[in-house]
Structure 1
Amino acid sequence: MTEAVLWSLRAHCAIPPRLSPYADDVQEWLVDQFTHLGLPLEAAARDRLARAGFARYAGRLYPDATEPDLRVLAALFTWFFLIDDACDGPGRLTPGQIRALRDGALALLREGPRWRHPGFSGPLRRLLVQAWREPRRRMPARWRLRFADAVAHHLDGTWRESVAKAAGRAPGVAEYVELRRATSAAYVSYPLIEFATGRPLPDPVYHHPALRRIGDLGNDLLSWFNDIASLDRDRATAGGHNLVLAVAAERGVPIASAVEVVAERWRTEMTRFVALRAAVPSFGPALDESVTAHLDGVANAVRGTVDWTLESARYPVAPGS
């Protein structure tokens, strides 16, 4: 039932699909890095990482990135997905361990690779050190701070979700929507648009209300689509942290009805996303191309998540049309 809904939403998506010509080559490179960095070497775990296609996901969000930059982006995406698995999978990290991981990762991002934290070591640290090297070298300090702040927001959200799960407390719909904007890591992907395109935005423009509204809406669209795709898994493991489950509990309706409620909300917000994107004002000839690149990047994040979710082995969805 959810598979039909997912394919229906894809057909309703008004954003054209994009994919980097380097995506598959970078995916092969990425799989080789698993061994070099000491990431899971068991055949099943290695195969699962390879079939997830994280480089193709990065290639859908940043289709114009150079091949070297797409390697950086794919490595960063892999890091965030491995963190997600560590925090949300079987034998997941405790809230205290997540807090220590957050502190260690932020020390590395803000202070450099010489800074160490006892709660953040091993392959995950080595992967982030490698992936962060080029953005840290190339991007200005204000951008590095913006990226680190986005990572802090994401990991804080992951910690808050872990605390709620440990307490057995399921969120209401409004609370969940706000928390999901943190746990999705979409806000982390937005600064990377500037790294991939080479078109930086000054802080007042990046944080302009018009761009923030579109960023929030794009985050919701990709997060809610993912919630429908991961519903079967989340029913067993998420402790109510899924928009479909939150809607079902708050409204007292069956899961199937809640899926339709979320899908209709997604369609409505997609229409609003297109309208808001078209209504963004001019920021002047010196900035408009960079603003367009940012808005295109947010749109690519939505459409890229839709297409990658339907092709990735991470979310087994039956082929559709």
Structure 2
Amino acid sequence: MRTFAASALIEPPFPARLNAHSAAAADRSGRWAAELGLAATPDDAGRLARANAADLAGRACPDAAPEHLELLTDLITWLFAFDDRCDDDGLGADPGRLAPVVARLLDIVDLIGDDAPAQLLESAGPIGVALHDLGRRVRAQSPPALLLRFATELRDYLLALLWEAANRAQRRRPVVSEYIQMRRHTGAVYPSLTLTDAAHHADPDATWLADSRVSKLDLLAVDLVCWCNDIFSYDKERRAGSDGHNLAAAVANETGLDEAKALAAAANRFNDALEAYLRLEPEVLAGGDPQVARFAAARRCWIRGTYDWSLRAARYH
């Protein structure tokens, strides 16, 4: 699938860069995951190490200070660990089992990094304890507006997982427009971008953040990250039994195209969105606002970083 993706996708025309502190962040994140119980077995630890969250974070934040890079690395590690838990024991296909897990995690998110009752952390288990640690650190490192954005986006992510689980339980395959909308949340790109904004010191202002061009640029960046992931991961998902939660699978289901043509159509969507992003970004940057420039830089890094990380990611083997 890497061969197809590398040939079918337009390579994002942004510099490929990696944070000099990525190796140290990888070591630290591995210890963090082990200490908090996210990697309870050697297999768990090996799988998280192969996912190489620090490489993705380091490409998304090539200039970040170590503490910002470590925070983003740990968030991505947490997302991988929770995703693996949802896949490995069927949690992600059973909304009745997933719902109480999500409810406890939402209780932790609602604290927005404040102290948590011991009983809540005990009931939430290692996933909840690690999520609380992330919230505590986001509160310490980020401006209030970014902290609140992060909490809201985590809520959207967790609730979107219930949509995905309900689809799986009912063997329901979403149409393309529905899939695109919900994939923006199940992919957890929004909270990842928020931590990247913090690392880039892009403190959002409601005036320009609500500008339709800035909002559209943000949507395009999120879609590009998600669709790049879908195309690179398609083969692994197909081997595991595709359930329709992939752009190519959604296209095939809606249009009746065979696998090869559906993959090509998904790649064309990525390429069209990248071209739209490249046309729109100069308009967004025309005002010369340095905050907007940092906001756009974070999105460029994520688009390019996802592409480069995906070319190497053992997670999709």
Normalised by the length of structure 2, the TM-score is 0.91
The offset of 1:233, in angstroms, is 2.9
Structure 1 CA distance, aligned partners of 2:274 and 2:152?
Answer: 27
Residue 245 of structure 2 corresponds to which residue in structure 1? 241
Unaligned runs of 5+ in 1: 317-321
The offset of 1:118, in angstroms, is 7.7
The offset of 1:206, in angstroms, is 2.3
Q: Deviations over 1:106-153 (max 9, x none)?
A: 332332232464895221122222222222123333322211111111
State the identity as a percent.
Answer: 31
Residue 221 of structure 1 corresponds to which residue in structure 2? 224
**2:115 counterpart of 1:113:** yes
| Residues 1:68 and 1:127: Cα distance change in structure 2 (over 3 Å) | same
Structure 1 counterpart SS, 2:20: coil
Unaligned runs of 5+ in 2: none
| Residues 1:224 and 1:199: Cα distance change in structure 2 (over 3 Å) | closer
Q: How does 1:82-231 map to 2 (within 5 A)?
A: 82-93=81-92, 94-111=94-111, 112-115=114-117, 117=120, 121-231=124-234
Equivalent pairs, count: 312
What is the identity, as a one-letter code, of the residue corresponding to 1:275?
Answer: R
Structure 2 CA distance, aligned partners of 1:203 and 1:49?
Answer: 37
Residue 313 of structure 2 corresponds to which residue in structure 1? 312
Structure 1 CA distance, aligned partners of 2:122 and 2:158?
Answer: 14
| Residues 1:114 and 1:162: Cα distance change in structure 2 (over 3 Å) | same
Residue 62 of structure 1 corresponds to which residue in structure 2? 61
Structure 2 CA distance, aligned partners of 1:258 and 1:119?
Answer: 45
Q: Deviations over 1:257-305 (max 9, x none)?
A: 1111111221111111111111115556xxx111111111111111111
Structure 2 CA distance, aligned partners of 1:19 and 1:268?
Answer: 26
Residue 274 of structure 1 corresponds to which residue in structure 2? 278
Residue 16 of structure 1 corresponds to which residue in structure 2? 15
Residue 319 of structure 1 corresponds to which residue in structure 2? none
Q: Deviations over 1:205-260 (max 9, x none)?
A: 22322111111111111111111122123233441111111111222121011111
Residue 302 of structure 1 corresponds to which residue in structure 2? 303
Q: Check conservation: 2:145, 2:203, Cα contact below 8 A.
A: no
Q: Which moved more, 1:33-42 or 1:261-270?
A: 33-42
Structure 1 CA distance, aligned partners of 2:53 and 2:157?
Answer: 19
| Residues 1:118 and 1:198: Cα distance change in structure 2 (over 3 Å) | closer
Structure 1 CA distance, aligned partners of 2:210 and 2:123?
Answer: 31
The offset of 1:11, in angstroms, is 5.3
Structure 2 CA distance, aligned partners of 1:150 and 1:54?
Answer: 20
Structure 2 counterpart SS, 1:12: coil
The offset of 1:33, in angstroms, is 2.1
Structure 1 counterpart SS, 2:284: coil
